[in-house]
Structure 1
């Protein structure tokens, strides 16, 4: 049973209990059930404000955070749905800038569950249907929607071209193999091409599809998928470019006729600040969000809002330095870092961030690769502590090699880190990251 957070309101808790009993996804992905459910609810997905739809293996949540920050810096009211939540289920519903209230959440879920009778809907289908109902009900200027799993058959992919402002694909990697690499007729056989095929399934006719650069097989597949859908492909290094340090952005999307000190030479080149969200890869995620906003025609955006959004966007549990709190007080380590990365691509980015030794605390779901984080960090790991992920089946310490030591829980692991000058990194799962935030009294709002 997933941890949705607890509520003192029995009506809210009843809905959280119902959600906790559902499978997270169907064994076989598909859109039939979510379309039927939405039809019973009056097709709210057809009445959304302009939507920015983001897929990817890694970085899609950060890209959504940059999009939201830039749009809000322009003064817009923005709906956002992302996953997973870290501490409370409410985090999945940001309605016109604010997390949904418990009382409204209970009412909303009751309505969706009633409409879903007999459909056998998954946790994610119920969640997305509820988000779309609320986003269609409450006035706003834009929506940011993160794909849950894959893209082509994800529950969010019911949206049609008339509500979409732009689609984007963040970094690609191998993850969720049981779903995304499942045998199927008429799909690419090579793993990275298949991943690209699934993510590019969000492409829609006439809608900009903004992408990064991937390996040649993935790049070619995205071109093919975009052409088949009739999408307007805007690829990195072909239609737009960002410098490695993130300070310089340029595109070929046409003029915007806006005056700003943040333009470099003309209105096709922008100067961007360093993001608050740490990690070199976040500069590219920020640039992807910029390109999505610049490529579309549905929502006006100024260079000043873009600059301010990149500068101020926050996204918890992505290379986050924990504040002083009940959890960090258990150690004399100079810094305690938190990252929800759980696959090989994320592990490589984490390894780039740390240039010296560290104490690693890992909790990882048992359907993930134990080497994904510890492999890239290699000899930088001074001590390796393994904890379970509360509420989930997790790898035991034995899965991480002879150096790994099992700890009773996260507090125990932090408390038993040796006293020296090396930082602590807590990683391996966004669910574990949520537990760390909860224990340290840093609840996302």
Structure 2
């Protein structure tokens, strides 16, 4: 093994392919063959795809399974602060030593051949999961589904497709139907799929693909449903009614994610206690996360500080709905986004909720929009917008003008990661 740290090895992996995203599976299959096909030696797999909510749904599934006393591997992306967040082995984040050894092995097996960063690191995760005992393996797609590097398990135990909306149009298509066709690529013959709430054109595509593949769909509104009643969450499916606490993850949209997680757990035979653990014990940072301590909080002691990594129009709408549910308070936004996103589509639903916007660029990210570009887009949407050199500078400006306000830092998981790192 080389002497490289995981960071150094990951940097080397970034150089193996000129494109960050290149959706084919040929390179993945080649490397998996060189690694003796770890994808065939995994615990029962739950494979998740969707535009919004798949990470939260996976977090709830993990909480429910672990609440039942069983162990889970989990793979998610992107990470917020450290790559290690992407790989959980039997419930624990992968160690630095284990990660470095895996990455080194995968680099050696791949040799000089082209492969994207996501592809080779996904292969590393699968290798880790194949070698470490666990009861379940949760795989979240990175982008799309049909050609995603995670889509290599021939027969998962279950698939889950959360709500599909517009995002990554340059890779997945510029209509809901085209994007749904890519997500539907995770459907497998004879494997049931829990389907979250969908727009009609997305559901039509999923139903057509299921008929072609022989997959069984368990569809929100048909085979299961979820609602809130008297401060509780109620799920109804083929197993009957289940009364549970509301999800501990904030936001009204988490109700549908929790419903999908509970429907999945009940289909797999987990009991009510596991379902309650799913909705009360899940942890998923940078999703409407309230920051309560750390240097950023200390610098603005009277501010209510919220952090959210959502970045597409559906996420903007969900965020606006959550702000409506909060006690009235002037709300200022600190926003940084990638140049691949529909910035105006994200910002428009939030316009009536926001007093002012401070635009920032995302440090260390080449695909960031400049603060000036984000501020221009915000003004087009009706915001009172200005630019700031950093999140810290933006927060200081808001603190000086409105010291008891609510501040929402949002627009990108990459920005959220820098904030969590800066805040300790």
Same fold (TM over 0.5): yes
Which of 396, 414, 424 is the matching residue for 1:431?
A: 414
Q: Distance in 2 between matches of 1:307 and 1:11?
A: 40
The 1:64/1:24 distance shift into structure 2, 3 A limit, reads farther
Which of 179, 197, 216 is the matching residue for 2:181?
A: 197
Q: Does 2:364 align with 1:395?
A: no
Q: Does 2:259 align with 1:278?
A: no
What is the CA deviation profile of residues 51-74 of structure 1, one whole-angstrom value per residue up to 9, with x for unaligned ones?
111000010000000000000001
Which of 95, 105, 110 is the matching residue for 1:116?
A: 110
Report the secondary structure of 1:248's partner residue.
strand
Q: Distance in 2 between matches of 1:127 and 1:114?
A: 13
What is the CA deviation profile of residues 296-353 of structure 1, one whole-angstrom value per residue up to 9, with x for unaligned ones?
3xxx422111112211111000000002210111214431000001100000000011
Report the secondary structure of 1:145's partner residue.
strand
What is the CA deviation profile of residues 4-26 of structure 1, one whole-angstrom value per residue up to 9, with x for unaligned ones?
xxxxx853332132134455966
Identify the residue that residue 102 of structure 1 maps to in structure 2: 96
Unaligned 5+ runs, structure 1: 1-8, 182-189, 253-266
Q: Distance in 1 between matches of 2:249 and 2:110?
A: 38
TM-score normalised to the size of structure 2?
0.92
Identify the residue that residue 208 of structure 1 maps to in structure 2: 192
Report the secondary structure of 2:66's partner residue.
helix
Please provide the CA RMSD for this pair. 1.7
What is the CA deviation profile of residues 370-409 of structure 1, one whole-angstrom value per residue up to 9, with x for unaligned ones?
2133211113221211111122132223333343222111
Which of 350, 354, 365 is the matching residue for 1:377?
A: 350
Larger mean CA deviation between 10-19 and 343-352 belongs to 10-19
Are 2:248 and 2:281, in contact at CA under 8 Å, matched by a contact in 1? yes
The 1:22/1:384 distance shift into structure 2, 3 A limit, reads farther
TM-score normalised to the size of structure 1?
0.88
Aligned length in residues: 406
The 1:435/1:24 distance shift into structure 2, 3 A limit, reads farther
Q: Distance in 1 between matches of 2:314 and 2:186?
A: 22
The 1:22/1:277 distance shift into structure 2, 3 A limit, reads farther
What is the CA deviation profile of residues 95-142 of structure 1, one whole-angstrom value per residue up to 9, with x for unaligned ones?
011101101111100011111124311011011100000000000000
Identify the residue that residue 303 of structure 2 maps to in structure 1: 334
Q: Does 2:79 align with 1:88?
A: no
Identify the residue that residue 312 of structure 1 maps to in structure 2: 281
Which of 223, 232, 240 is the matching residue for 2:207?
A: 223
What is the CA deviation profile of residues 129-182 of structure 1, one whole-angstrom value per residue up to 9, with x for unaligned ones?
000000000000001110000001100001111xx111001111111111101x
Identify the residue that residue 386 of structure 2 maps to in structure 1: 405
Unaligned 5+ runs, structure 2: none
What is the CA deviation profile of residues 77-103 of structure 1, one whole-angstrom value per residue up to 9, with x for unaligned ones?
110000000000000110011101101
Identify the residue that residue 323 of structure 1 maps to in structure 2: 292
Q: Does 2:234 align with 1:248?
A: yes
Identify the residue that residue 255 of structure 1 maps to in structure 2: none
What is the CA deviation profile of residues 269-309 of structure 1, one whole-angstrom value per residue up to 9, with x for unaligned ones?
1112111110011011011011122223xxx4221111122
Q: Distance in 2 between matches of 1:70 and 1:268?
A: 19
Q: Please report how far the alpha carbon of residue 369 of structure 1 lies from its aligned counterpart in structure 2 after TM superposition.
A: 1.9
